[in-house]
Amino acid sequence: MPKKQSVVIFPGTFDPITLGHQDLVERAANLFDKIIIAVADNINKKTVLPQDERVKLCKNIFKDFDNITVCGFKGLLVNFVKANNCNTIIRGLRVISDFEYEFQLANMNRRLKSDFETVFLTPSEQYSFISSTMVREIAALGGNIEAFVAPEVVVAMTKFMSNDS
């Protein structure tokens, strides 16, 4: 009998993708045969980077990984998961407050799709404090974000934040 291929989806807005996200994806790449990074177009969030730019950045960052694909999506995550014949997602947990929110999401998703599974990963210690929200705030206030994101993300954030002025 052939081995079942394990596919997992890593959803998020990735506004911007941080070194913490990269750490989780790279570690998950050792656990799963295929990872789909699903860049959400979340109508409830005002993003700095447009979805197509976030997709482009993710594709560029993971271009050397054969088992990672990147695409954008709109709508319910559960529908994206079904459309990709998958039932598992990964989510990162940095602090206890993340767990409470993610636990609620995991249970809601399982209610919408009974075989929906969420696998939680914690980031490496050096990335445990990084969040996209903090990176956006530092960038908006003119701070240096080079220690928190890939170089191409610094360029994109600078470009799109200066367009807001």
Count of C-beta atoms within a 10 Å radius of residue 143: 12
Beta bridge partners of 35: 8, 68
Tell me the pLDDT tens digit for each residue of 67-80.
999 999 999 999 99
pTM strictly above 0.85: yes
Domain 7-164 class?
alpha beta
86 token code pair: 């998958």
Whether the per-residue pLDDT at 113 is higher than 70: the answer is: yes
Tell me the pLDDT tens digit for each residue of 79-98.
999 999 999 999 999 888 88
Q: Give the mean model confidence (pLDDT) for residues 114-119.
A: 95
pLDDT at 32: 95
Cβ–Cβ under 8 Å, residues 71 and 45:
no
Taken in order 14, 15, 20, 22, the sign of the CA dihedral is positive
pLDDT at 152: 97
Beta bridge partners of 91: 120
- Which residues are catalytically annotated? 21, 45, 94, 132
